[in-house]
Amino acid sequence: MKPFLTGLALLCLTGLCAAAAPNGTFMDELDLSPIRQGWGEPQAKQSVAKRPLTLGGKTYERGVGLHAPGTFYIELDGSASRFSALTGVDGGVGDRGTVTVTIFADGAKVFDSGVMRGGGAPMKIDFPLSGVRSLTFSIGDAGDKNTFDHLDLADAFFETAGEAPKVVNRPPEEPYLLTPPPPAEPRINGPRVFGVTPGAPFIYRIPTTGERPMRFAADGLPEGLALDADTGIITGTIASGDKRPWDVTLRAENAKGKAERPFRIVVGDTLALTPPMGWNHWYAHYDRITDAMMREAADIMVATGMADAGYMYVNIDDCWMNAPKHKDPMRVGPARDENGVLLANAHFPDMRGLTDYIHAKGLRAGTYISPGPLTCAGFTGSYQHEAQDAKTFSDWGFDFLKYDWCSYGDIARKEKGDEAEKLKKPYRQMSALLREQERDIVFNLCQYGMGDVWTWGEEVGGHCWRTAGDLGFELNVYHAVARKNAEHHPYARPGAWNDPDYLQIGFVGDARVTGEPTPCPLTPSEQYSYMSLWCLMAAPLFYSGDMTQLDEFTLNVLCNPEVIEIDQDTLGKQGYPVHVDGEREVWTKPLEDGSIAVGLFNTGEASQDMAFSWEEAGLSGKYRLRDLWRQKDLGTFEGSFAAGTLPRHGVMLLRAWPEK
């Protein structure tokens, strides 16, 4: 069996069992396509449909093989009387693999395998089903890597007197809003610190919620910067060579009240002193992106209040250049002009005009390319034109560059030398070229975690780096991806961030087919958990859904300023799980003011009462707690905290201040 499969994927149907058993149905007789076809569920990488299952040295010709992690659902009509099966790690992986199986009947747990290991004896599953309407099967990877996690359900049989069971897609969950509307009086949001190099153009829109019109002021701005009091946009250039921190006080006032906040501008060599925030077009629009869509996204970022919560980058991903071939003739054309300068395709007639439009709103513009000859989607890359392209991006006015490995892999394979150095080479080269430009360009290394990039991404000049593959292909396992990314927390710091990929909530397109935007397959509870995890991890916060279909719920998840403050904390520490068990996780993140962010996650398949102890969270003494999603003070607690009932895959995100 091939290792490294991710997500719940159907691996084995024996194909030897066409006839129904008396008074019942074997699981392998059911239509199992929802297990594989639920959007966000990866496909199986291989089929072993003609090979029987093996458990404990015995062969079984009936059953279903699965790969952890994942969840599937079976609908009953209430007439089933019993379910039985044998389960364990398939014998084909030897003594490798660790898997768990938890089964819920109408939300109540009826079976929990604990950790099953390769080579172990199979476990018997046998429980009554009288009156049960639905079963949920949760397949886990035991909290470690899911390599060789091949689970068998052998001789899985439903005793029934009526209709056969049906495998169904996940039942829908109605959206709900955790965060109250922002108050009418001003509240200044966003980072408390911002890095800029001497002599580089500076642009910063003060993120502020509250009724408009509003007037802004900034005390202590360095010479060369000016504030537009009506828009709250700071622009200008700080004198070259003047490296130092400037402590500024930002102020905002409207008819309802006043607000002020400290803001430190650090003039030096380090950018991205907090994780960058913004929007990237990829998972919504793929190769359909246009100049008009980018401008519209910038308009919406301001109009919806995303910019008031701190989102500032409006980034093009792949497919803005020309391609040698493409289904859209407006995206086909010469790669470069007679001087070797990179050409945008016909959907992007004026790149400088586009960035000027974005900058006029107080926002920043980002772009994308590959160090190889072609991008991942087959458009023009930077290979052998790196210096020209760095200058072009600067001349066009871009403030962010995503540099995607893609076809550079073909170049690296042909080169001789140390493998680690080959991974670093294109990023070290482009970083040096970006630093030569007249503007600050935040540099994102997109190479999917190869060569443990978190250990050297900062060394080669990166400000953030992808730590895994494209999350769009395995969105259902966002929590497992977060746990893996969190392992790299020692390497995160101001100016150097672990990036587990974009926020894909709201309306997003299926990455497997680069589809048109449709509702995110994650439940509302999962979307709140997703955002909480990214903020606890101090991850770059780039929304990658359809900006034209932002609804109240999606904005509620994206724009809670108290949740975002956890991500943007100036201490720059990455949070990680401090306690993990079968159905509960506790994460913590230390914060600059001495408080601690605590995330309590229900990872089980049913609603349950949740709590955590101070020992689990590494706390001691008394703490004043605030519920950040609900923006509600909870009181002072000592020793433990009971959160009440959390829904399936739900979260409570707290901020804890020590009481003296």
- Contacting residues for 626 by C-beta, under 8 A, at least 6 apart: 562, 632, 633, 634, 654, 655, 657
527 with 470, same domain: the answer is yes
For 426, list phi and psi in degrees, rounded to 5. -65, -30
627 with 478, same domain: the answer is no
Last residue of a domain, one of 520, 538, 567: 567
92 with 148, same domain: the answer is yes
If you write DSSP's letter for every residue of 465-509 in order, what string do you get? Answer: EE-SS-GGGSGGGHHHHHHHHHTTGGG-BTTBEEE---B--SEE-
Residue with tokens 């300068």: 341
Note the pLDDT of residue 68: 82
- For residue 173, is it within any domain? no
pTM: 0.90
Note the pLDDT of residue 143: 66
Note the pLDDT of residue 48: 36
Domain limits for position 209: 187-267
Could you tell me what percent of the chain has a pLDDT over 70?
94
428 with 503, same domain: the answer is yes
- For residue 272, is it within any domain? no
Q: Omega before 213 cis (within 30°)? A: yes
Last residue of a domain, one of 267, 287, 311: 267
- For residue 174, is it within any domain? no
193 with 156, same domain: the answer is no
Gyration radius from the chain CA atoms = 26
147 with 204, same domain: the answer is no
- For residue 3, is it within any domain? no
**CA of 351: how far to CAs of 7, 283, 286, 400, 478, in Å?**
40, 22, 18, 14, 34
pLDDT in tens, 384-395: 999 999 999 999
CB 472 within 8 A of CB 250: no
DSSP label of 104:
E
The CATH number covering residue 102 comes to: 2.60.120.1060
β-strand partners of 154: 63, 86
C-alpha to C-alpha distance for 401 and 604, rounded to whole angstroms: 39
148 with 21, same domain: the answer is yes
C-alpha to C-alpha distance for 559 and 571, rounded to whole angstroms: 21
**Number of independent structural domains in the chain:** 4
Name residues of the chain where pLDDT drops below 70.
1-22, 36-51, 143, 145
334 with 467, same domain: the answer is yes
Residues belonging to the active site:
404, 470
Note the pLDDT of residue 145: 66
- C-alpha 6, offset from chain centre: 16
- CA 93, 99, 104, 110 dihedral sign is positive
CB 531 within 8 A of CB 558: yes
475 with 563, same domain: the answer is yes
250 with 101, same domain: the answer is no
- For residue 65, is it within any domain? yes
234 with 360, same domain: the answer is no
192 with 288, same domain: the answer is no
Residue of 557, 554, 541, 455 lying closest to 508 (CA atoms): 554
Residue of 75, 72, 76, 77 lying closest to 34 (CA atoms): 72
- For residue 472, is it within any domain? yes
CA angle 182, 187, 192 (to 5 degrees): 130
3-state secondary structure of 222: coil
Strands 541-543 and 225-228, bridge-based pairing: unpaired
Residue 309 CA neighbour count, 13 Å, CB half? 26
Instruction: Supply 151's token pair.
Output: 């689970």
Residue with tokens 């080959």: 422
Residue with tokens 């190099």: 197
**CA of 525: how far to CAs of 5, 174, 267, 425, 644, in Å?**
26, 9, 41, 42, 15
Query: How many C-beta neighbours within 10 Å does residue 29 have?
Result: 20
Q: What distance separates the 2 farthest-apart alpha carbons in the chain?
A: 86
The CATH number covering residue 362 comes to: 3.20.20.70
pLDDT in tens, 299-331: 999 999 999 999 999 999 999 999 999 999 999
β-strand partners of 259: 252
Last residue of a domain, one of 101, 135, 168: 168
The CATH number covering residue 219 comes to: 2.60.40.10
C-alpha to C-alpha distance for 431 and 444, rounded to whole angstroms: 10
- For residue 175, is it within any domain? no
pLDDT in tens, 226-275: 999 999 999 999 987 779 999 999 999 999 999 999 999 999 999 999 99
Note the pLDDT of residue 604: 87
- For residue 424, is it within any domain? yes
C-alpha to C-alpha distance for 71 and 123, rounded to whole angstroms: 19
